[in-house]
Amino acid sequence: MPMLSFLIRRLLQTIPTVLAVVLLVFVLFSVVPGSIASTMSDDVDPQVELRLKQQLGLNDPVYVRFGNYIAKLATGDFGTSFRTREPVTTMIAKRAWPTLQLIFTAMAFSVVVGVPLGFIAALRPGGLVDSAAMVVAVSGLSIAKFWLGLVLMYLFALKLGWLPSFGYGDGGLKYLLLPAVTLGVSPMALFARTTRAAVLEIMTADFVRTARSKGMSETRVVKWHVMRNALVIILTTVGLQFGGLMGQAVVVEKLFSWPGIGSLLVDSVLQRDIPAVQGSILVVVLAFLAINLLVDVLYGVIDPRIRYA
């Protein structure tokens, strides 16, 4: 029961966040100059432009447009794309799976490599492994994704011929690897640093010292005390990084011609396809909130002392 009431409370808390995002995006794109008509062509016909604006309701006052949008949104209707003239939900649905594939693979790569790297580094602080791990971590955080992506393309596609350099193909792993690694390097580095810092701090905590003084083996100390306590911090970072990855995916998707929500968002912004922009951002925000809610629930699973209060 506490879990259920916690979930309901948290879900209710997301409503103002979502509304604030919806309002902010709407207001931003109402004041930003340029319209879908001006992006259609360098020499769009003025009569067509006029009719298009009428058809799309762009000549209506902002409050009327916002009211119409909210009314539709309340029924789950994200509106119709100005560009493609198809429902925004359909457009997003077509892009959702490639984005999820990319983000979850990138996250899996970053966790599988970054967390053990940080752990190993923390167990021998100042040693060779620690220094090497931190060089990798700092580099990973510093490297621009665009540049890294190009280097990986050059190396694994052009020079070694192991992987295709671009595209979605059949959506299989060989097409997914390069974009996922490109996207995952930065969070991998962050996880390594966060894990190292968390483990180092926990290793000097009183309860660890107590465990050791009781004669508990180092393996058991690390496994039962250090790991579980570090997991809470790592989990928080993972949750936050999901949101970051969704934003960073924009660059990677464009570079690798990966058909996700990120590239949809970029084109929609550039072409002032306001319903598609609003829909894409809303989906990203909802996904971010959902993942963070899941993280909050997992806290209680990892550490029973954390109550759903």
Bridge partner list, 80: 87
Bridge partner list, 87: 80
Buried/exposed 192-231: b ≥16 CB within 10 Å, e otherwise: bbbbbebbbebbeeeebeebeeeebeeeebbeebbbebbb
SS3 breakdown of the chain: % helix, strand, coil, rounded to 5? 80, 0, 20
**Is 73 among the residues that bind other proteins (CB under 8 A)?**
no
When the beta carbons of 42 and 206 are compared against other proteins, the nearer one is 42
CA 67 from centroid of its chain's CA atoms:
30
When the beta carbons of 116 and 164 are compared against other proteins, the nearer one is 164
CB of residue 139 vs other proteins: minimum separation in angstroms? Answer: 21
CB of residue 300 vs other proteins: minimum separation in angstroms? Answer: 39
Judged by CB under 8 A, the chain residues 232 through 291 that form the site for other proteins are 253-260, 263-264, 266-267, 270-272
* Structure tokens given for 55: 């058809």
Judged by CB under 8 A, the chain residues 165 through 184 that form the site for other proteins are 165-168
CB of residue 85 vs other proteins: minimum separation in angstroms? Answer: 6
Cα–Cα distance measured from residue 228 to residue 281, given in angstroms and rounded to the nearest whole number: 35
Cα–Cα distance measured from residue 152 to residue 164, given in angstroms and rounded to the nearest whole number: 11
CB of residue 95 vs other proteins: minimum separation in angstroms? Answer: 6
CB of residue 55 vs other proteins: minimum separation in angstroms? Answer: 5
Judged by CB under 8 A, the chain residues 95 through 114 that form the site for other proteins are 95, 98
**Is 77 among the residues that bind other proteins (CB under 8 A)?**
no
In the three-class reduction of DSSP (H, G, I as helix; E, B as strand; rest coil), residue 214 is classed as: coil
Per rule CB under 8 A, count of chain residues that contact other proteins = 54
Give all strands (DSSP E) within the chain, no chain letters.
none
x/- contact string, 34-63, with other proteins (CB under 8 A)? xx--xxxxxxxxxxxx-xx-xx--------
Q: Quick one: CA dihedral 240, 243, 246, 247, positive or negative? A: negative
* Structure tokens given for 307: 């109550």
When the beta carbons of 97 and 104 are compared against other proteins, the nearer one is 97
Q: Which span sits near other proteins by CB under 8 A: 32-40, 111-119, 234-242, 284-292?
A: 32-40
Q: Are 92 and 261 in contact (CB under 8 A)?
A: yes
When the beta carbons of 49 and 201 are compared against other proteins, the nearer one is 49
**Contact residues for other proteins, defined by CB under 8 A:** 33-35, 38-49, 51-52, 54-55, 83-86, 91, 94-95, 98, 149-150, 153-154, 157-158, 161, 164-168, 253-260, 263-264, 266-267, 270-272
